[in-house]
Amino acid sequence: MPGIILEDILRITSRGRVVSGIALVGTSAMLLAGCASAPEAPADTAVALDYLPCMVSDAGGFDDKSFNQLGFEGLTEAAAALGVETKSTESASETDYAPNIDSLVDAGCDLIVTVGFALSAATVTAALANPDVNFAIIDDAADNDFDGKTDAPNIKPILFDTAQAAFLAGYASASYSKTGTVGTFGGQNFPTVSIFMDGYAQGVDYYNEQKSADVKVIGWDQDKQDGLFTGGFEANDTAKTTAKNLIDQGADVILPVGGPIFQSAGAAIEDSGKDVVLLGADADVFDTFPTYDSLYFTSVLKGMKEATNDVVTAASEEGGFDVTAYIGTLENDGVGIAPFHEFESKVDGELQGELDTIKASIISGDIKVTSYLAAS
């Protein structure tokens, strides 16, 4: 064993600690022992998980106080529990989607979660080109040819039947309205946006049937499946003007659907000086964006953080990735409505009991809420 000197024999490393010896080693047996293979790591030594989950935002970014942020929180919470790192990229515009996804493929990501229907086409293209990489997409079925099937065999859709929760919010809004007019508007007329607006209008209709009332919904036409849209998902003057137009038409409850556009609606309400309340979408905006906490009536919730956490965690296991679509409903707590917070004392005393009954009836099927996901 050439090259071994006394100092080598007298120092051995045990679990990161250096131990010094002082006795001379004089036998060949001891020399051979010094050259033996290193002992195996103790059985309780943790082995790092070889798994890299990743995410691409849409143009709203991970600080949108809405679905990008919730998805990102689900990713990071799952990664922390698993003890793994993550990679993520934020998109500033539509032209970033494909390059951002490709960059994560090149980084060796095992699971790439894309956030929002706007990334659908880019996600399908990347998934087909990289069949060994698992993909998931939040808020889209990745069905760009509309044949009822996901367009790539390695994409898991994470979807939410928010029409069910919006139905509850519509009923509550109709109960609260003093003017008899409630309004809604969206970013763009995509199914994952209009599903809120349609469920909301259905809830108002149900209130009218039950109470022999005549509360109007402006901003959405159920028959035409079309309504009032800003053309984008930014908090800007267009969104503010759109909200102002609803207020000018008498709406005293407003549901904006489209990421941060609710912030513009809040500004429009404050500028109006009128007694108008605001609903959030996706997250409980009372917690995520408290600037307008005195205006927030309730929020229509998606359990995106929890669903993303579950998908990321499952995909870390051998055979754990399943492309069957996740659909959040009232029954599995994937959707719901937030508390009334500061309006708790201002709503009808019987409202919460009525909402509980309606929720149970939607779950049982006694009340039918229509949506593009209802038959899934």
> Residues 287-321: pLDDT tens digits?
999 999 999 999 999 999 999 999 999 999 999 99
User: Average pLDDT, stretch 111-129?
Assistant: 96
pLDDT value, residue 294: 97
- Over residues 132-142, the pLDDT tens digits come to 999 999 999 99
Which is more confident, 65 or 273?
A: 273
In sequence order, the β-bridge partners of residue 156 are 136
Give per-residue pLDDT as tens, 214-262: 999 999 999 999 999 999 888 999 999 999 999 999 999 999 999 899 9
pLDDT tens for 9-57 read: 333 333 333 333 333 333 333 333 444 444 454 444 456 799 999 999 9
Which domains are seen in the chain, by residue range?
1-37 (no CATH), 53-160 (3.40.50.2300), 164-302+345-364 (3.40.50.2300)
Q: Is the pLDDT of residue 263 over 80?
A: yes
pLDDT of residue 40: 52
- CA–CA separation, 149 and 143 (whole Å): 6
* pTM check: above 0.75: yes
pLDDT confidence of residue 48: 75
Low-confidence winner among 2-6, 33-37, 77-81, 147-151 (lowest mean pLDDT): 2-6
pLDDT reported for residue 22: 33
Distance separating alpha carbons of residues 71 and 115, to the nearest angstrom: 7
Q: What is the mean pLDDT of the chain?
A: 88
**pLDDT digit string, tens, across residues 65-104:** 778 999 999 999 999 999 999 999 999 999 999 999 999 9
Q: Given a cut of 70, is residue 371 above it in pLDDT?
A: yes
Please tell me the predicted confidence (pLDDT) of residue 30. Answer: 35
**Beta pairing partners, 282:** 301
* The pLDDT of residue 173: 98
Residue 46's pLDDT is: 54
CA dist 155 and 321 (Å) reads 10
> For residues 200 and 171, what is the distance between their CA atoms, to the nearest angstrom?
8
